[in-house]
Chain A
């Protein structure tokens, strides 16, 4: 079936087999392999993307549901922030050592961006609660929480020169 959607800020028209998960569409068809798959029970959050601005699990979303929607993946994140390098949340993860093996990272960053958009000044407890759908086996979460604290501040600060 034909679907029309916005992918990382650009319009896309695709012919998809309905029984396709968005994670599969991204990874297998679109070669956007930054969205990872870490489980088969919708529990790990490695596959998190922004669907009309909401963090959702792309492994539990069907390609046909994309019709008419806007999808942002980790690859498109910096493009949407107006900076040519890293989105402030990505920068904060870098600055605060919020990643080790990098596998959970795209999902963490996408969840973090959604969280900081809804809640510009999150507390540590709110961040920890907000991460309940994202597993990380490497970091013990401490530096991820610190990254999101810093990233939320940076995201919501007026950009220099604007």
Chain B
């Protein structure tokens, strides 16, 4: 690793100031993505701004009809949070399937959402629950946040402070894990909020996306059978040594059915 400076600000404004002032600086959350990237010399930041010492970023709270999860909340904190379990149990299940215990002990929701890895789990939940990404300066709706492969609408030096998940009537997540990396080959999150349903797919394209046909079908009948015959086109889907595009397309339907079943069971 090339040398870098290390800063541990204690407030978000301080973090912003550092990020803005020091050229080539980067935020460090759990480091589960950033550090492997630096180790492989795919990134060579001049400074890291560690968010670990800003206590307010690690809070989980309910605010009106939303579950608000601080950016520095670790995956393990979501897994063990009674509040999350009572409000959006799907997130407990999702977080418990990320990586492995050591990854969950460090990795954060803010880092995951900011990173927008095409195979990451959280983006599916953020999009399906129509969550709001709260930053140090604004609130970004999920629908405009994820813009492409590892791309988001975050501005340079913008800091995610929390994610606001509107509490759904029910939601479910089903993931087909890569047996090698544990990331999602296909992950589908289905959320029902009143009469509307959103279906978000990760792992399959350059970036998380929704499946309107499934949403319409599920709004009519919230049952796995309602989407069983919906076939997704393979065009544009990822294809790699683990899963070709056609297989991924097929898995989207399979995982969507499982996600609906999980939602019905309230898992």
Contact = CB atoms under 8 A, between A and B. Distances in A.
A–B contact at 8 Å CB threshold (below) = yes
Interface of A: 1, 17-21, 40-43, 45, 48, 51, 54-57, 59-62, 64-65, 67, 111, 114-115, 130, 132-134
B105 A19 contact: no
A19 B76 contact: no
Contacts of B39: 21, 40, 59
A111 B5 CA distance: 31
A19 B35 contact: no
Interface string B164-202: 000000000000000001100000000000000000000
A137 B30 CA distance: 28
A18 B101 contact: no
Contacts of A43: 181
Most chain B Cβ neighbours within 10 Å, of A21, A45, A114, A132: A132
B105 A54 contact: yes
Given A1-B6, A64-B6, A64-B8, A55 B102 contact: yes
A19 B106 contact: no
Contact of A18 (B4, B76, B99, B105): B4
Given A61-B31, A133-B100, 16 more contacts: A18-B4, A18-B5, A18-B6, A19-B1, A40-B39, A41-B40, A56-B105, A56-B106, A57-B103, A60-B32, A60-B35, A61-B35, A64-B6, A64-B8, A114-B101, A133-B102
A60 B105 contact: no
Given A57-B102, A61-B106, A19 B2 contact: yes
B36 A45 contact: no
A62 B4 CA distance: 11
Contact of B101 (A1, A17, A20, A55): A55
5 contacts: A18-B4, A41-B40, A60-B35, A62-B48, A64-B6
A127 to B, nearest CB: 11
Nearest to B52: A65
Nearest to B36: A42
Contact of A54 (B1, B32, B76): B76
Given A18-B5, A54-B76, A62 B35 contact: yes
A69 B54 CA distance: 15
B3 interface: yes
Interface string B22-37: 0000001001100110
Interface string B1-19: 1111110100000000000
A43 B39 CA distance: 13
B238 to A, nearest CB: 19
Nearest to B1: A19
Given A19-B1, A43-B181, A111 B102 contact: yes
A59 B1 CA distance: 12
B62 to A, nearest CB: 25
B139 interface: no
Interface in B222-264: none
Given A19-B2, A40-B39, A45 B102 contact: yes
B5 to A, nearest CB: 6
B101 A132 contact: yes
Given A18-B48, A55-B105, A65-B50, A45 B6 contact: no
A33 B48 CA distance: 27
Interface in B93-112: 99-103, 105-106
A118 B76 CA distance: 12
Contacts of B28: 62
A50 B93 CA distance: 24
A41 to B, nearest CB: 6
B31 to A, nearest CB: 6
